[in-house]
Amino acid sequence: MMKCPYCKHPAGLLRIAKVTNWTPYRCGFCHRRSQMPRWQGALLGGLSGGIGGAFGGIIIRHYGYLGWIGFLSLYAVAVFLVAWLLCTLYPIEDKDLE
């Protein structure tokens, strides 16, 4: 599970959902910023895109577009939970706190 590298408090799911390359994670308790390493994001994106594309093609062929939409919804939640459970955060410098 993702934890704040400063205070070791578990990361909030909604706060993790807002993390991008340009907006880092901000802890709700200590209010410090941290970020996921780029290699973890690239690995997660590449694997989930490849697996999702392969299974998505099979699902759409057998169940049609409604089955594909259901699969896509469940798959997006599964990838998000895997990222929350397996990825880590590292501290970044906060110029505001100096």
Encode pLDDT of 54-72 as tens digits.
999 999 999 999 999 999 9
Instruction: Output the six-digit token pair for 94.
Output: 């906060």
Range 75-94 average pLDDT: 88
Cβ atoms < 10 Å from Cβ of 18: 11
- Pick the closest to residue 86 from 33, 48, 49, 56 (CA basis): 48
The predicted pLDDT at position 54 comes to 94
Mean pLDDT (the chain, rounded): 88
Bin 65: left if φ > 0, else alpha if -120 < ψ < 50, else beta: alpha
pTM: 0.74
